[in-house]
Structure 1
Amino acid sequence: MKPKGLMVGVAVVTPGLMLGLVVSLLLLLGGSKSAVADCGPGVTLSISEDIKVDGYSPDQLTNAAAIMNAGKALNLSAKGQMISVMVALGESGLHVLDHGDGPAPDSRGLFQQRDNGAWGSYADRMDPTTSATNFIKALQAVEGWELLEPTIAGTKVQRNADPYHYQKYWPEAVKLVQALSDGKFSLEGSGCAIPGQSGAGDDYPWKDSPTWLQVGAGSAAASPLGMFYRECVDFALWRVNQQMGSTGAPFKFLNGTFRPDGQGLGSALTWKAGWDAKGWPTGSVPRIGAVVWYAPGVGGADPAFGHVAVVKEVKDNGTYVEEGYNGNPPPDDHNYYTRTVSSNVPSAFLYLPIQEEKK
């Protein structure tokens, strides 16, 4: 019986499931998808007196709508609209403030823009649409901003002393933009990805460590990343750390600290939600170094937990090579594997943000 924690990411239930279903799927080569992922269009407002969002006043919703409209006018993506709302939440709580703070007493407005000539007149900084337009233009001028974590992208514009100041406002910004938009959308397909790094084969540091099956679901089976040794999730999180420049303790990305909302990254089941909560891009095109996410039951993955792996190589015929752990049936479970997979089999590819921000 599997332990009832969030640290398990088992990929196989029965010997025939992965080998039977997945191998047959691998032979069905779907049409290759565009190599250029779409960062997603912006969303159009649908705000009225009837729209209410818990915890927010009509004035705050009106200000959020002004930010979104300014973004739409500048062809800003939905992710950009959410970043803009996130920054305004972190700077003013979506209030048009007529005062600054100790370090910046001349700051004003939704974005607390300073009186330094870069943000227009006092009237400009106090006007929600004009101040948002000026913020968004500055955001769009940041090279590669779509690939950054939202809080890093916002900091590139605001130059906040703490680059992670805005991180805790991201879930609320997503909620607000979704509530005020004219249709349902998600971060799926935000898709902007950077070239990753191919792993050096089975370089997983804990390949000889005991699995939870061998020692039980106690702390002895947990790796320094907070996942069980030799599970698919532990290998994938190791590869994420490695690509982002964190190759030894203390590791930067852990199961318990990955998400800004305080929830664990968890089993493979919740990894897509973890990427969305963090504001990292996802999409349907394989990229070297991206995490491969299988929803439960997809491609022969575990029907309860799903499966994660990592893209090792992308081929020209609509397939890619994935690498991972615990992707084969016993007796070869909890070991390293590689296999060629049709690009249309996984549920999503989970991309990494720009690596230089994490070194």
Structure 2
Amino acid sequence: MKPKGLLIGAAVAVPSLFFGLIFSMVLLLARPAAADCGPTGSVTASEDTKVEGYTAEQLRNAAAIMNAGRTLNLPVRGQLVSVMVALGESGLRVLDHGDGPGPDSRGLFQQRDNGAWGSYEDRMSPSISAANFIKALQKVESWELLEPTIAGNRVQRNADPYHYQKYWSAAVRIVDVLSDASFSLEGSGCPLPGDSGAGDDLPWRDAPSWVQVGANAASTSPLGMYNRECVDFALWRVNQQLGSTSAPFKVHNGTFRPDGRKLGSAVAWRDGWQAKGWPIGGTPRVGAVVWYAPGVGGADGTYGHVAVVKEVKGNGTFVEEGYNGNPPPDDHNYYTRTVSNGVPSAFLYLPTEQEHP
């Protein structure tokens, strides 16, 4: 089945945009493929280490968290979650006081005096408190597949599961700077779900589309999609989130659905989600699939459209990203646009994500 063009008039900034799409799917934002996303050596924050907005003390505490993670064989993504949580709990400071809900909370992670987090001295130690948090994180089932803020919440059990989300970008900057010379997050390809800065990182973004060479093997990506269609880009994002950044990919056009139905049309994706028992909701979340039913928001009346949530804004809109969303000659390239939250038909989440009420 070949792609067909459609008109989508759901953009906020631009009243109508011509969208040539038919293939599309999901994501949870990440960087491109990486050779090694595991721990590598120790981390040191010297007086010369600088991250704008953070003191030497805060960076030393972040380094202690990363070193605890590396000692416990925690991948970079887990180190990021740990630093993000410490930012959200204490601002990366060893606090000798709690708050209203937890007056006995102490340390980087504001751990309670309930016997689960060791002694007062343990909770006030950056290294020991970090190790105890990490051990608890590693016990969370499929924590690697969870949205970072949800993974942190499963350990901390705070009232707002999305409390940590706003600290993710800062955690990425800090961990990137503190990583040793043999490993840098920038360009490393380590999966960083929720990082809306990844942009156009499709590995085969220069491959010929079916329009250029016809509907044959030369126009098919390693994911079993036509190159540079919206589902091709989105399926790449899904694989990144699952930690699969090179062949053989965990999620493939021909094997995604348990009933064997392929993903050649965007309209098939919601049914595919339901067939796998994966969650569907009405709230945009970074990395979720944006699903347009046929005819909704100007989508093609037969095929619909799918994109990916790149950024959630605070004014009732979100930024979506995808491929094949502009008129020729820019039709099979990367695009972004701002959309009102209520325009899409649904948002499709990865299996362990939960919709925040």
| TM-score normalised by L of structure 1 | 0.54
Q: How many residues align?
A: 233
RMSD of aligned alpha carbons: 4.3
Instruction: Compute the displacement of 1:9 (Å).
Output: 8.3
d(CA) in 2 for partners of 1:53, 1:84: 18
Instruction: Compute the displacement of 1:192 (Å).
Output: 5.2
Instruction: Compute the displacement of 1:125 (Å).
Output: 0.1
Instruction: Compute the displacement of 1:303 (Å).
Output: 6.3
Uncovered stretches (5+) of structure 1, i.e. residues with no partner: 13-36, 210-222, 241-253, 270-293, 308-350
Q: For each residue in 1:164-199, what CA deviation from the matched residue of structure 2 results, as whole angstroms up to 9, or x when unmatched?
A: 111111111111100111132257343452876567
Which amino acid in 2 is paired with 1:358? E
Corresponding residue number in structure 2 for 1:50: 48
2:319 aligned counterpart, secondary structure: coil
d(CA) in 2 for partners of 1:53, 1:234: 44
Corresponding residue number in structure 2 for 1:150: 148
Instruction: Compute the displacement of 1:159 (Å).
Output: 0.4
d(CA) in 2 for partners of 1:261, 1:85: 28
Corresponding residue number in structure 2 for 1:126: 124
Instruction: Compute the displacement of 1:55 (Å).
Output: 0.4
Which amino acid in 2 is paired with 1:148? L
1:236 aligns with 2:306: yes
The 3 A distance-change label for structure 1 pair 89 and 207 is same
d(CA) in 1 for partners of 2:185, 2:317: 22
1:305 aligns with 2:334: yes
- Which residue among 341, 350, 353 is the counterpart of 1:353? 350
Q: For each residue in 1:231-255, what CA deviation from the matched residue of structure 2 results, as whole angstroms up to 9, or x when unmatched?
A: 9x97224xx7xxxxxxxxxxxxx67
2:354 aligned counterpart, secondary structure: helix
Corresponding residue number in structure 2 for 1:185: 185
1:100 touches 1:107 (CA, 8 Å); kept in 2? Answer: yes
Instruction: Compute the displacement of 1:207 (Å).
Output: 2.1
1:7 touches 1:267 (CA, 8 Å); kept in 2? Answer: no
2:108 touches 2:129 (CA, 8 Å); kept in 1? Answer: yes
Corresponding residue number in structure 2 for 1:167: 165
| TM-score normalised by L of structure 2 | 0.54
- Which residue among 69, 80, 83 is the counterpart of 1:82? 80
d(CA) in 2 for partners of 1:305, 1:11: 12
The 3 A distance-change label for structure 1 pair 124 and 306 is same
More helix per residue: 1 or 2?
1
Alignment identity in percent? 48
Corresponding residue number in structure 2 for 1:73: 71
1:102 aligns with 2:131: no
Uncovered stretches (5+) of structure 2, i.e. residues with no partner: 1-7, 22-33, 192-239, 243-249, 269-290, 337-347
1:106 touches 1:115 (CA, 8 Å); kept in 2? Answer: yes
2:149 touches 2:162 (CA, 8 Å); kept in 1? Answer: yes
Instruction: Compute the displacement of 1:97 (Å).
Output: 0.3
